[in-house]
Amino acid sequence: MNLIIDIGNTSTKIAVYNGDEKVEAFRTNQLKCEQIEKKFSRYRIKKAIISSVRIVPPFVYDLLSVNIPFVHLLSHKSDLPFTIGYETPETLGTDRIAGVAGAYKQYPGANVLVIDAGTAITYDFLHGSVYEGGNISPGIEIRFRALNRYTGKLPHLKMDENFHSPAKSTAGAITAGVINGVVYEINEYIRTFEKSPGTPVVILSGGDSGFLKDKISHSFAYMPEIVTDGLNYILEYNAK
């Protein structure tokens, strides 16, 4: 059994895998020692991996190391089945590495665009066995928050399915502008990527992917668990 801990900007996801099969998973906004203990106490965990885009709380690694024989802290120095072609690999988010790893496992040798729509929206390009790098854009919530923070009167709104464009109110204009802006951005990335040689593959993942998936007009594979799948793959790869 494998324990996966993915610490993101907004929340932490904890998952348990048996081989390639995910047994269970949950997401929390406040990572606590008891949550981790509860997860692995029910299973015979032999291996664990920690991925974090923030500083890892000391208790996490300490707790796992005491109870689990093999614990891997993911970084750009980890053994990977593909080459990282990033000029500053030490600044590369481990969530992006994991997403690319999941894509590589699912589509070995293919040209893949991994779109992870979360706090930030990342666009990562895998060409065969080389991770070429990618782009980072503000996520939906950041865009809503920025309009409120950097203007005098615009309210802080949340995602809402009910909007029209062109909008007939300021709230509608904000909602349509943010959501349509993200959708247009994603559609253009996919449209451009579709010109790649061979049969390019697009993967959509991330916390906001469920909200966005029905609004995108191009073909893609919806894989909301691509990051945890990738972490499980990297864990097995390094344990060997």
Q: Which residues of 197-228 are buried (b: 16+ CB within 10 A; e: fewer)?
A: eeebbbbbbbbbbebbeeebeeebeebbebbb
Mapped onto helix, strand or coil, the DSSP state of residue 62 is: helix
Q: State the DSSP code for 150.
A: T
List strands edge to edge, sheet with 221-222: 83-84, 130-138, 120-127, 111-117, 201-205, 221-222
| Element (DSSP H or E) covering residue 101 | helix 94-106
Give residue 149's identity as a one-letter amino acid code. R
Catalytic residue set: 95
The answer to whether the beta carbons of residues 107 and 138 sit under 8 Å apart is no
Q: How far from chain centre, in Å, is Cα 7?
A: 10
